[in-house]
Amino acid sequence: MQRREVVSALLAPRQDNLLTVGGLGSSSWDIAATADNPQDFCLVGGMGLTVSVGLGLAGARPQNRVLVITGDGDMLMGMGSLATVAQIQPRNLAIVVLDNEMFGETGGQPTHTAGVTDLAAIAKGAGIPTTGTIRDAAALQDTLPHIHESDGPVFYVAKVSAEMPPTVYPPLDGPFAKDRFRAAVLGDGAV
């Protein structure tokens, strides 16, 4: 599967209450290429922190669905967050890892998922009840209702090709991105 097509499919059924947290680099670029939505918060330089930020947001906003979209390199860097997600069991949190089996931001070196590491198995072992690996478009379509509607936490790995589409940056001005997201979540008076 191609990353942009996966992210487009993930965001196509977007409901008004969906808040998205994008991981370092490529996943954030894919979110930005799909739509410039103020309810998307992209972590452009916080490797390993995406799931933790999504977990905090899910706890602070239980009335919202929180969708974390990140890459395998970011997830490998922050695997400890899966144990915390499993311990807390946030019903409104869904995590999708775009796994191209490489560190795309630093030159394409293979990640451990190119070898024996199975992120879905790790999430299951940590205690996340709903996990799986998506390998094709049909499976992605079948999984979308779980990602958007099932009680969480849910965790899916989407196996994607290593292709690198053109970069589309989300807002790179940190204070602007924070204020825009805060206003989208809490209203204009919150900024």
The proportion of the chain whose per-residue pLDDT surpasses 90, expressed as a percent, equals 66
List beta partners, residue 134.
158
Q: Which of 66, 67, 76 is nearest to 105 (CA)?
A: 76
Instruction: Reply yes or no on whether the pLDDT at 107 is more than 90.
Output: no
Neighbour tally for 91: CB within 10 Å: 13
Torsion from C-alpha of 134, 140, 144, 150, nearest 10 degrees: -30
Local confidence band at 25 (pLDDT 50, 70, 90 cut-offs): confident
Q: What is the mean pLDDT of residues 35-58?
A: 91
DSSP letters of 115-152? TT--HHHHHHHHT-SEEEEE-SHHHHHHHHHHHHHS-S
Tell me the pTM: 0.93
Local confidence band at 169 (pLDDT 50, 70, 90 cut-offs): confident
Least confident of 8-17, 20-29, 59-68, 109-118: 109-118
Q: What is the CATH class of 3-190?
A: alpha beta
Q: Is 164 helix (H, G, I), strand (E, B) or coil?
A: coil
Q: How big is the chain, counted in residues? A: 191
pLDDT for the residue numbered 115: 83
Mean pLDDT of the chain: 91
Q: Where are the chain's structural domains? A: 3-190
